Structure 1
């Protein structure tokens, strides 16, 4: 009989004795208290041992990074006015670009039937069309790549039994949200391809649909990023017994992240209406603190979504509120948090200063593409740091 089997039999016999049970109990049920998923690991080529949770966490964080790339690429597509160059939605066939001159000519002819060509780009050449076409194509192709990055590893992990029931539901939700995001993207583009009666302005997509498209992308990013952090970061072992107002700080952080999210959404209305080109001065809007036409439309609610001056004004106000909230959160929580949470708060304060500077510079220089894209990327960086801080606060141990 092997020695390990004999030892197990002896332990089981001794456990029948009441006095020895309390002594040997922590030794015997190791396999029953530690889950198989925690015991199993994957060895990487360099000898590193990474748990399943780490692998899943890095996968989700990588997918969240790809979503960031899609948002940034979508912003550049919007800034270069390339989003209406592809006039059809073909999720499968659309992967293949035109390869011959005849195919490019046919694609260009489809674009010539669109309102954007008729009222804005009627003098565009085929080579110029190819450039804006490839911008939109890259954005759509990147979205498909995110789908592959989520679905293929998910299928592998599912077959291997790595996904818990809760994680299966979350991955299914991420996949469904990504599919819905693709539909929203086409729904948004379609609004710019419909010729309106008495067309008198440059064709553009609906700012409402643009906001929905961006908002769903931010929700997808937040979900992937949060789950990735949950699987890769261990809770800090530094107890915070002296922090009596931890709950207040958590609520403060939640409100701050909500403001960051709301400010990013308001930026979609600024972008959709090209409202960044209305008042290119700071801190005043022309010579006034509040523009005179801020409530020019009737009913009044339309001004917040359709009035160029009002959308820029409210985006500025939300930016100020976000900055004040981040600064207040940092002041209230400084020297009270564990090291990692304090680092997240410090970086959040630094990033909000960078973001405000980028916004002002973008405005004063009449929205150049590099600065505007950097400003949009900054909103994602700000949201990431806010989520990280929320995550750290949620997992602080209490004594």
Structure 2
């Protein structure tokens, strides 16, 4: 049998490879990419709403109004006066009522109860939407190749979030809270709860981005990725996440209301007496001045690093990628202004919740820019 002559630059040991026909990669198992993407968009909207409702629950001091965790029967609210009396009696036994809300009326209690009940109910809705979608697509064999574990991960994280939510609430109800007279949940547990919510939101957004194009298009786009810009935007993503978690620490102890001045904290750059709590490490979680100071300094550094990343991103050869980084820089500036306004207005509800919504927008825009640095969109020769 005659051998085919080797090409001039063919490496020894190379064997001819079959080239996949256009669309062959996607034809293998495309699944219901479009339908799954819409389902994930619904989950994204629900999780974003959950973050906002959770913020309002914290700002209205409603988080401890339900003193038990009952994932199934807890979905049913009090149905009569006797049920309300029982719930109110449970609330009256915790430090928040005894030290902060002594004399609260049943009507006032119902207001904070409905906030927390709605927050937990929305969590149940998210779990149900995920379960119906995931098991429905799985049973119909409509999940694309390589996506089952990714989509299942969202459910695992959602379940973990529910457990962490109760772990957080329990910190305001347990013996330690009774002993030290704490009227709120532990700030580090609140930060964990919010941080995981943003992780879930981030994974969901990333999956929505990936499912927006066929696998073959993503593979082609990755060949044109800007690795340096992708690495820098990954760093910005991590830094942005850290700032969000620090913001949760501020919210956890109402530190945003401690120093309604800017750029100074009161009359000085550094907050007065920041290390009075023993042991020392507790100051970084419980001293209002120090916690707010760290959040402010981190915000300035995030803005500076964001400018560095934007300066790199604006030089991208892809017009849509450049636009994505312009949006990130604009949102970083807006978020800084919102943070300053939140401090100046002592974290009034409407200002503080706008700042939290700004964090969601900032987070998604950073993820979008990171995605486009790795998977740039096609453009014309003119660069549009």
Q: What SS class does the counterpart of residue 124 from structure 1 fall into?
A: coil
| 1:224 and 2:201 aligned | no
2:64 counterpart residue number: 84
Aligned to 1:98: 78
2:128 alignment counterpart: 148
Q: Using the alignment, how far apart are the partners of 1:319 and 1:145 within structure 2?
A: 34
3-state SS of paired residue (2:171): helix
Runs of 5+ consecutive residues of structure 2 not aligned to the other structure: 5-17, 379-384
CA contact (8 A) 2:134 2:152 kept: no
Q: 1:187 to 1:273 in 2, by over 3 A?
A: same
SS of the residue 2:211 aligns to: helix
The alignment status of 1:35 with 2:15, answered yes or no, reads: no
Shift of 1:164: 3.6
| Structure 2 CA distance for aligned equivalents of residues 309 and 133 of structure 1 | 30
1:114 to 91, 94, 99: 94
The 3-state SS of whatever aligns with 1:340 is: helix
What does residue 357 of structure 1 align with? 337
> For residue 46 of structure 1, what is the aligned residue in structure 2?
none
Equivalent of 2:151, from 161, 171, 174?
171
Q: How many residues align?
A: 359
Q: Which moved more, 1:177-186 or 1:247-256?
A: 247-256
Cα pair 1:240 1:397 within 8 Å, conserved: no
Query: Could you report, residue by residue, the CA deviation over 1:262-295 in whole angstroms, capped at 9, with x for unpaired residues?
Result: 0000011111111112111000111111223234
2:370 maps to which residue?
A: 390
Contact 1:115 1:195 in 2 (8 A): no
Q: Which residue of 2 aligns with 1:308?
A: 288
Aligned to 1:341: 321
Give the one of 319, 322, 342 matched to 2:302.
Answer: 322
Alignment of 1:1-399 (within 5 A): 35-38=27-30, 52-164=32-144, 166-196=146-176, 199=179, 201=181, 203-233=183-213, 246-297=226-277, 299-396=279-376
- Offset, 1:251: 1.7
- Aligned-partner Cα distance in 1 for 2:177–2:232: 48
3-state SS, counterpart of residue 267 of structure 2: coil
Q: Determine the C-alpha separation between the residues in 2 that align with 1:381 and 1:31.
A: 35
Shift of 1:302: 3.1
Give the Cα–Cα distance (whole angstroms) in 2 for the partners of residues 205 and 30 of structure 1: 56
Q: Which moved more, 1:205-214 or 1:303-312?
A: 303-312
- 1:85–1:111: 8 Å Cα contact kept in structure 2? yes
- Verify the 8 A CA contact 1:82 1:133 in the aligned structure 2: yes
Q: 1:31-69: per-residue Cα shift (whole Å, max 9, x none)?
A: 97662544x8xxxxxxxxxxx212212211221221111
- Residue 12 of structure 2 corresponds to which residue in structure 1? none
- Residues 95 and 177 in structure 2, CA contact (< 8 A), matched pair in contact too: no
SS in 2 for 1:293: coil
The aligned counterpart of 2:7 is none
What is the deviation of 1:353? 1.4
TM-score, length-normalised on structure 1?
0.83
Whether the 8 Å CA contact 1:76–1:369 is kept in 2: the answer is: yes
Provide Cα deviations, 1:90-131, integer angstroms capped at 9, x if missing partner.
111011111212211121112112221111112111111111
TM-score, normalised with respect to structure 2: 0.86
Distance 2:222 2:128 in 1: 41
Q: Work out the CA distance in 2 between the residues paired with 1:318 and 1:26.
A: 50
Deviation by residue 1:128-179 (Cα, 9 ceiling, x = unmatched) = 1111000000100001110011110111101110114532111221111101
Change beyond 3 A, Cα 1:299–1:197: closer
